[in-house]
A and B are shown apart, each in its own frame.
Chain A
Amino acid sequence: MLTDNPARKTSVSPVSTAVTFDQVVKRYGDHTVLDHLDFEVRQGERVTLIGPSGSGKTTILRLLMTLERVTEGVIQVNGQPFSGLPEKQLRRARRHIGMVFQQFNLFPNMKVLDNITEAPVQVLGLSRDEAAERARDLLDLVGLADKADVHPTRLSGGQQQRVAIARALAMRPDILLLDEVTSALDPELVQGVLDVLRDIAQATDITMLCVTHEMGFARDISDRVLMFDGGRVIESGPPERMFSEPEHERTRDFLGAVL
């Protein structure tokens, strides 16, 4: 019997699964963005979502971050279902997840250091000193140790995005969502941000879900690439295979256009 097979048991054990989408549907009015979507991400796995604009990639991250609600279906994080929960329980689910946005979304009313320390102090209950120490370590990691007391508006886009990465990491999430984090940057600033993310991918075992148009970066950090089209995953696999010999015609067309 399948259920008695120990190998199968461990492979589906809830502990090793970070994210599960089970028949998830997202509609805006008549427009279906996600169409009975199924996929899983294992803990520590780095998954890149690729596909044409409007294929629902960003919606997946926004659903996980609880910025949107599913129309149908169930999302589980670390084995706990969390779609449709009231605010209090949503906060418990959100604890595991961090997000970096396309437009950085730093708080203009706080200096760089306070952008990073505010949530650890308010939400996690760290002391100001503990939070500041954590923040300075992270600023060091993203190469901005000298910018702690600067206003975010005085930084370049690339620097702002690196602060935003530090801010998300300061909450020690298990799962990091990266939503087209280099799309709003001038070309010469993209590399600095990608280097920081590569370092983090190497130095930690954090689970990453990444929406990007940077195929070189996707190839470097991903364990798996998911190709989206029409609100579904039409093909998935390790980046070496996906980029060299895609099976699906839509994937070939898409990669032909972006590579």
Chain B
Amino acid sequence: MSFLTAFVRSLPSIWDGIQITVLATLLGALLALVLSFVLGLAARSRHLLVRGLARAVVEFFRGTSLYVQLFWLFFALPILGFKLVPLACAVLAFGLNYGAYGSEVVRGALAAVPRAQWEATVALNMTPWQRMRKVILPQAWPQMIPPFNNLLIQLLKSTPLLSLITVSDITFQMDQLRSATGDTKAAYLVLLVIYFVLAYALTLCMNGLEALGKARLGQGRA
């Protein structure tokens, strides 16, 4: 059987694999985004305890391997009596790991908003929450998009780890095709192309978001 015939025949399972990969990427990114903001804002807190705790969480999840974190959630946690479905393990590991990196993006972008903007919000007697929501964040988030895009693509490219914890992602499906046909070159070439197309689609979305944010700040093309 030629590779092409086998490829066409397994298109449905390849499509399933792509969906799993995209789902894990998006859910992981969503959790990472939430954690980025929680930890990034906490890192700027006035309270030493809050700041210290955020710092510790960030350093731990940044400083330990994603691979080991995932295996710990998948293999070690059940021994302690908590069993999560494999996809949940992956989303949790991706979220915690990339959230730790993302919090530095949030912290840096908030710090990059000029102090004069903060002073204007004080002069208008806004509460700390109003300052953040109405003035500081709207100016900070377009700055976050390019580094967030980097992290998002890295997260996508971390998802082949899914196939190591029994999830049938796109890497798993293409590996099946490779063993069935014996055509290693072709199978992995197709897999490379699939990841590239997915990554590029994400980049286009993020570029659109960035342009929107900058237009709102009056920085885009008129």
Binding site for B on A (CB under 8 A): 65-67, 87, 91, 94-95, 97-99, 101, 103, 105-109, 118-119, 122-123, 151-154, 167-168, 171
Report B-chain residues with C-beta under 8 Å of the C-beta of A153: 217-219
| Least CB distance, A173 to chain B, in whole angstroms | 9
Interface: B146 (CB within 8 A) = no
Q: Which residues of A contact B124 (CB under 8 A)?
A: 98, 118-119, 123, 167-168, 171
For this complex, 17 residue pairs linking A to B, each with C-beta atoms less than 8 Å apart, are A65-B123, A98-B123, A99-B123, A105-B116, A105-B117, A105-B120, A106-B120, A107-B120, A108-B139, A109-B216, A119-B124, A123-B130, A151-B218, A153-B217, A153-B219, A168-B124, A171-B125
In the bound complex, residues from chain B placing their C-beta under 8 Å from that of A94 are 122-123, 125
Taken together as a complex, chains A and B put the C-alpha atoms of A49 and B126 apart, in Å, by 27
B residues within 8 Å of A by Cβ? 116-117, 119-120, 122-128, 130, 134-135, 138-139, 216-219
Q: How far is the CB of B128 from chain A (nearest CB, A)?
A: 7
Q: How many A-B residue pairs have CB under 8 A?
A: 66
> Do B120 and A101 touch across chains, with their CB atoms under 8 A apart?
yes
Cα of A98 to Cα of B121 in the assembled complex, Å: 11
Main secondary structure of the interface of B (DSSP, over half): helix
Q: How far is the CB of A155 from chain B (nearest CB, A)?
A: 10
Is the Cβ of B126 less than 8 Å from the Cβ of A119? Answer: yes
B138 partner residues in chain A, CB cutoff 8 A: 109
Instruction: Judge whether B134 and A122 touch: CB under 8 Å.
Output: yes
Complex: chain B residue closest to A66, CB-CB: B122
Which residues of chain B are near A105, meaning CB under 8 Å? 116-117, 119-120
Say yes or no: B218 contacts A122, CB within 8 Å: no
The complex places the Cα of A235 from the Cα of B125 at a distance, in Å, of 33
Complex: A153 Cα to B134 Cα, angstroms: 18
Known: A107-B139, A123-B126. 19 other contacts (CB 8 A): A65-B119, A65-B123, A67-B122, A91-B127, A95-B125, A98-B123, A101-B116, A103-B116, A107-B120, A109-B135, A109-B138, A109-B216, A119-B126, A123-B127, A153-B218, A154-B218, A168-B123, A168-B124, A171-B124
Partner of B117 from A95, A107, A167, A171 at Cβ < 8 Å: A107
Closest residue of B by beta carbon distance from A150: B218
Q: How far is the CA of A26 from the CA of B35 in the complex (A)?
A: 40
CB of B218 within 8 A of CB of A152, answer: yes
